[in-house]
Amino acid sequence: MTPADDASPTRPTPIERARRWLRAHPQTVPQTIQELRATSRNSPPIAHTTITPTLVQGPGASADGPEQTPAEWVLAPDADPDRRILYLHGGGYVTGSPGTHRNLTSRISAASGMAVLALDYRLAPEHPCPAAIRDTVPAFAWMTANGPNGPGKASAAFIAGDSSGGGLAIGAMVKIRDLGDRQADAAFTLSAWADLTLSGKSWQTRADEDLMTSRAFTDRLIEWVLPGGLLTNFPLISPVFADLQDLPPLYLIAGDHEVFRDDTARLAALAHMMGVDVREEIYPEMPHVFPAFPDLPESKQVMAKIGEFLRANLPAVWAERPATDQERQHEEEP
């Protein structure tokens, strides 16, 4: 049965409600960054959360950035503060914040039983590429040594992100590997934007199905993200062109009705070719970052699978704790 099979005239299905939300908030090509951010601020949230975050003043410091990069800890009830996930929000590198993605980070914390550190990295055009990478790498190092309760070594450390944050997560791990620093134990991405050359075939084959993103809109983002002279195939921001050898296990998720579909497929193929333990799942009929829509059955399935994936990749010495009641509830959801 497809997500639309149980439609009725009186009660739209979860996927139709998601599509209605997307149609009601089209991404028109903005003339200025102020226009785009105003539109983003005025859009109603997809879903609300009841988890109150804990603000953090300073996870790490980048060489060319502020002494402290803002962030927030998000902990579901019973989450283990020593098991930590650095989460990188989407928004095309020019919009978004931990606050806009609190629905996702709260549900990820609940599904995994782990603490989520949502990073408020610097945005373009004020801070073009590679500012986001330079904020993310030290923030991950900071997270491995600091938790929601203060200084303390992480028993497990992961990286994740959606859309541009997904590409940023992969690029950050490439940089961490090159520096020889402590690497993430595993990572997952949701609809990663991993190719700023926009050369994936899904830009043509999925253009009519994608209700969120257009080529003209994305071209405008790229103008803001990349300073003059920096190529769109720069590996740390377009990791489909990166050397992915020796990266940790990856779980790459996307919807089939999005123009970024092939970014995930190509990342998975490249990672597999380079010997990385990679798991790829592309969900039929699903839109960009569909796990953000909590009513979708597929969203609930993904959350449960994310929790399973992260726990399966805990360092062996820390893997003995049984799942909490909340984690088991997510695993049992259809």
Residue 263 phi, psi (nearest 5)? -60, -45
DSSP strands (E only) in the chain: 54-56, 71-74, 80-88, 114-119, 146-147, 150-151, 156-162, 186-190, 250-255, 278-283
- For residue 227, is the peptide bond before it cis, meaning its omega torsion is within 30 degrees of 0? no
Neighbouring CB atoms inside 10 A of 224's CB total: 20
8 within a domain of the structure (yes/no): no
Contact 195, 238 (CB under 8 A): yes
1 within a domain of the structure (yes/no): no
Per-residue pLDDT at 66: 55
Per-residue pLDDT at 10: 73
- Spatial distance between the Cα atoms of 305 and 289, rounded to a whole number of angstroms: 15
Per-residue pLDDT at 58: 63
3 within a domain of the structure (yes/no): no
Q: How many domains does the chain have?
A: 1
Q: What is the pTM of this model?
A: 0.90
281 within a domain of the structure (yes/no): yes
Per-residue pLDDT at 84: 98
- Spatial distance between the Cα atoms of 200 and 190, rounded to a whole number of angstroms: 17
Per-residue pLDDT at 45: 80
Per-residue pLDDT at 4: 46
Which residues does 172 contact at the CB level (< 8 Å), separation at least 6?
Answer: 88, 133, 136, 137, 140, 159, 236
Per-residue pLDDT at 68: 77
168 within a domain of the structure (yes/no): yes
Catalytic residue among 109, 163, 164, 299: 163
- For residue 294, is the peptide bond before it cis, meaning its omega torsion is within 30 degrees of 0? no
Angle between helices 297-312 and 325-332 (to 10 degrees): 130
Tokens, residue 245 = 């050898």
Per-residue pLDDT at 63: 57
Per-residue pLDDT at 334: 47
Which residues does 5 contact at the CB level (< 8 Å), separation at least 6?
Answer: none
Active site residue 163: yes
Per-residue pLDDT at 59: 72
Catalytic residue among 101, 164, 258, 330: 258
67 within a domain of the structure (yes/no): yes
Per-residue pLDDT at 319: 46
Contact 87, 119 (CB under 8 A): yes
- Burial (CB count <10 Å: 0-12, 13-18, 19+), residue 212: buried
Regions of the chain short of the pLDDT cut 70: 1-9, 50, 57-58, 60-67, 229, 317-334
- CATH (domain of 286): 3.40.50.1820
Domain that holds residue 217: 14-332
